[in-house]
Amino acid sequence: MFLNAFREGLFSVLFPSNCRLCGAPLTNVSRLPVCPDCLGAIHRMDAPVCQVCSERLAAAQLAGAEGEQRCGLCRRIQPPFLRAVAYGSYEAGLRDLVHLLKYDRVRPAATVLGRMLAEAMADLAPRFRSSLPLVIPVPLHASKLRQRGFNQSELMARAALKLKPVGLQLEISPAALSRRRATESQTGLTRHQRRENMRGAFAVTHPGQVAGRDILLVDDVFTTGTTVSECARVLRRAGAQRVWVATAARVLQPEAASASLPEKPADAASLALAASA
């Protein structure tokens, strides 16, 4: 106990740091500069969601609903993927944690986000048949990869797979899909503009790995689904049987978010353990 206190005190003196999310002083030795309180405040979504894209459903969409519950968009158009799941809403601490990885290049954040991604993957496990899916991270364009130095989706996927989220070791193939065209930022674009921006951006690099296989696409954030939908279309044209999507975070539309139910807190202890790993 004394040695732990001495170590933490020495760490705070020699390596003074504050939590990158809330600014509180850090005293625990950790590779991730985020305090336990901020990690513990990140929530899992715990509300009625669309059984296809995981958008939260408003009360009006639930009233009188029979069978599989879907949002208005998924009722009109069947996406090229069977189901998309996410750990939590892309807001507050979860959004900041994603930014810490993507833009500040704090790689240890991938371990915590990977644990969240693993929970989302586990939600899909009952849908897998005898053949486990091939895990494919959404790729970055070569120019973006050189600039950032890593693909955050791949780092998160590898961290998630170490936890064996479906009880078995899933196979990952980061090179099976490539981003052959650099695209503009999707921020501020309409749904139609997003689709046009992504059209033709992806290609299957190794068709032999994809043909006849079920695929689990993984990404950091599901925004409108445009990116993963384009990836899923390309994969299915290459012969993929079925495509699922798992992400750490999901952007909720304002009208759906306003109708959300209280969320279930994450296990702060497990997230803190992942942060120190």
Q: For residues 117-156, b (16+ Cβ closer than 10 Å) or e, as one string?
A: bbbbbbbbeeebeeebbbbbbbbbbeeeeeeeeebbbbbb
Q: Report which secondary-structure segment, H or E, holds 113.
A: helix 109-124
pLDDT for residue 197 is more than 80: no
pLDDT for residue 92 is more than 70: yes
Give the CATH fold of the 47-62+69-264 domain.
Answer: Rossmann fold (3.40.50)
- Give the pLDDT score at 15: 53
Distance CA 96, CA 249 (A): 11
Distance CA 136, CA 156 (A): 11
What is the pLDDT confidence band of residue 257, given thresholds at 50, 70 and 90?
very low
Distance CA 132, CA 28 (A): 39
Contacts of 13 (CB under 8 A, 6+ apart): none
Burial of 171 (0-12, 13-18, 19+ CB in 10 A): middle
Apex CA 116: angle with CA 111 and CA 118, to 5°?
90
Beta bridge partners of 244: 83, 216
Apex CA 28: angle with CA 152 and CA 32, to 5°?
5
In 63-108, where does DSSP find H-type helix? 72-76, 92-102
Q: Residue 249 has what DSSP assignment?
A: E
- Give the pLDDT score at 261: 41
pTM, two decimals, is 0.82
Domain boundaries along the sequence of the chain? 47-62+69-264
What is the pLDDT confidence band of residue 7, given thresholds at 50, 70 and 90?
low
Higher pLDDT, 122 or 257: 122
CB 85 within 8 A of CB 246: yes
Work out the average pLDDT over 75-79: 90
pLDDT for residue 41 is more than 50: yes
pLDDT for residue 237 is more than 70: yes
Work out the average pLDDT over 38-64: 81
